[in-house]
């Protein structure tokens, strides 16, 4: 089975598979996993590495599936390094890795660690063509992945949730959703041409920006409230001023 579209051989296949690691989108969920771990009273590096590996596999799944749908199904992209079979191989490898991480978390940490990690794979796999065609799914998908990564990173260390971890996850979910609306507004014309119903397409650019600013303001208010209630360290209130 050919894996790479442009060149034959194992080297080309590995290069094509590696091309689906997009650092701009990959690094934040991995960092969020360790951020959640840092909130825990103690850190077990092995558990942190396994959870981070699970997040890598979940995001890689999203990248491969998105590329497969955009090029091989929708025909939106001009080029893609992987054949359709190569995309399926990438999905199989990522899913196998994710399941292995999930099994380790279940057996070593407990069922809760696996259950809080599991949804991230579904967020990645369903990103295209299911979630990205709906205004809520297109907006909340990636921020939800970040929030779940924070919660999972914390849970695998502490074995339970905490108010602080839940609050941080909620703030990031709301804040990043607002930012995502603003970012999607840049592609409103193109998204509308392919029937992609982002918030900007549904509401219009101006109303979308108002909704985005409202979400950002809500998140910042949450940071202040958390600082005043001692859920967050008092110094986190300065982040609102900096933002």
pLDDT band at 185 (very low <50, low <70, confident <90, very high): very high
Report the Cα–Cα distance between both ends of the chain, in Å, rounded.
50
Peptide bond into 81 cis (omega under 30): no
Please state, in angstroms and rounded to a whole number, the distance separating the CA atoms of residues 64 and 6. Answer: 17
Look over the chain and give the mean of its residue pLDDT values, rounded to a whole number. 95
Q: Residue 137's pLDDT is what?
A: 93
Where do the structural domains in the chain lie, given as residue ranges? Answer: 22-158, 162-243
What average pLDDT score do residues 75-104 get? Answer: 96
Please state, in angstroms and rounded to a whole number, the distance separating the CA atoms of residues 75 and 68. Answer: 9
CATH superfamily, domain at 22-158: UbiA prenyltransferase (1.10.357.140)
CA atoms within 13 A on the CB side of 71: 18
Among 177, 116, 168, smallest CA distance to 143 is for: 177
Residues 199-219: tens digit of each pLDDT: 999 999 999 999 999 999 999
Please state, in angstroms and rounded to a whole number, the distance separating the CA atoms of residues 200 and 206. Answer: 8
**Does residue 141 carry a pLDDT above 90?**
yes
Residues 116-139: tens digit of each pLDDT: 999 999 999 999 888 988 999 999
């Amino acid at each position: 089975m050919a894996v790479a579209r442009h060149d034959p051989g194992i080297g080309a296949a590995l290069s094509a598979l590696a091309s689906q690691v997009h650092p701009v989108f990959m690094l934040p969920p991995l960092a969020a996993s360790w951020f959640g771990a840092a909130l825990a009273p103690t850190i077990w590096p092995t558990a942190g590495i396994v959870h981070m590996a699970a997040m890598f596999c979940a995001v890689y799944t999203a990248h491969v599936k998105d590329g497969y749908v955009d090029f091989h199904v929708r025909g939106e992209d001009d080029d893609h390094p992987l054949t359709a079979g190569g995309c399926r191989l990438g999905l199989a490898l990522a899913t196998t890795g994710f399941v292995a991480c999930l099994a380790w978390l279940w057996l070593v940490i407990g069922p809760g660690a696996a259950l809080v990690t599991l949804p991230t794979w579904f967020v990645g796999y369903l990103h295209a063509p299911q979630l990205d065609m709906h205004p809520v799914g297109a907006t909340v998908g990636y921020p939800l992945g970040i929030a779940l990564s924070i919660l999972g990173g914390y849970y695998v260390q502490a074995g339970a949730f905490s108010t602080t971890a839940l609050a941080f996850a909620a703030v990031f979910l709301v804040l990043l959703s607002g930012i995502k609306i603003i970012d999607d507004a840049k592609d409103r014309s193109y998204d509308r041409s392919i029937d992609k119903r982002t918030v900007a397409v549904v509401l219009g650019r101006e109303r979308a920006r108002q909704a985005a600013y409202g979400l950002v303001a809500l998140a910042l208010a949450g940071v202040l409230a958390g600082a005043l209630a001692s859920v967050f360290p008092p110094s986190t209130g300065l982040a609102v001023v900096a933002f």
